[in-house]
A and B are shown apart, each in its own frame.
Chain A
Amino acid sequence: MKAVIIGTTTLIAAAGLGLYTWNVSQNAKQTPCGDTAVASSAIGGPFELVSETGETVTDTDVITKPTLVYFGYTFCPDVCPLDSARNAQAAYLLEDEGYDIGTVFISVDPDRDTPQVVGDFTENFHENMIGLTGSAEQVSVASKAYRTYYRKQDGDDEYYLVDHSTQTYLMMPDTGFATFFKRDHTPEQIAEITACFMDTEV
Chain B
Amino acid sequence: MKLNTLIASAFLILVAPAAWAESNITVMHPTAFETAPTAMAGGGFMHISNDGDTDDTLLSVEADFPRVELHTTEFTDGVAKMMHVEGVPVPAGGMVALEPGGYHVMFMGLQGDPFEVGETIPATLIFEHAGEVDITFEVVERTMEHNH
Residues on A close to B: CB < 8 A?
17, 20-21, 74-79, 81-82, 85-86, 88-89, 92-93, 112, 116-117, 120-121, 123-124, 149, 153, 158-159, 161, 163-167, 182-183, 187
A sample of 28 cross-chain residue pairs with beta-carbon separation below 8 angstroms, ordered by A number, consists of A21-B77, A75-B40, A75-B41, A76-B80, A77-B43, A78-B43, A78-B82, A78-B100, A78-B101, A79-B82, A82-B101, A86-B144, A89-B144, A89-B145, A112-B40, A117-B39, A117-B40, A120-B37, A120-B39, A124-B35, A124-B36, A149-B79, A159-B67, A159-B108, A163-B79, A163-B81, A166-B75, A167-B78
Interface size class of B (residues with CB under 8 A): 35 or more
In the complex, A121→B36 CA distance in Å? 5
Number of A-B contacts (CB under 8 A): 98
B148 near A182: Cβ-Cβ < 8 Å: no
| A85 and B144 contact, Cβ closer than 8 Å, known pairs A21-B78, A166-B79, A183-B78 | yes
B100 near A82: Cβ-Cβ < 8 Å: yes
* Chain B 23-50 near chain A by CB (<8 Å), digits 1 or 0: 0000000000111111111110000000
Complex interface: chain B residues within 8 A of A81 (CB): 33, 142
B101 near A165: Cβ-Cβ < 8 Å: no
B36 near A123: Cβ-Cβ < 8 Å: yes
- Considering only CB atoms, which chain A residue lies closest to B33 in the complex? A81
Lowest 7 CB-CB distances: which A-B pairs, in order? Answer: A77-B43, A120-B36, A92-B146, A163-B81, A85-B144, A120-B38, A159-B108
B83 within 8 A of A: yes
B40's contact among A20, A74, A165, A187, by CB below 8 Å, is which?
A: A74
- Considering only CB atoms, which chain A residue lies closest to B143 in the complex? A85
In the complex, A102→B104 CA distance in Å? 30
* Most chain B C-beta atoms within 10 Å of own C-beta, residue among A77, A112, A182: A77
Residues on B close to A: CB < 8 A?
33-43, 66-67, 71, 73, 75, 77-83, 100-101, 104, 106-109, 142, 144-146, 148
- Considering only CB atoms, which chain A residue lies closest to B82 in the complex? A161
- Considering only CB atoms, which chain B residue lies closest to A159 in the complex? B108
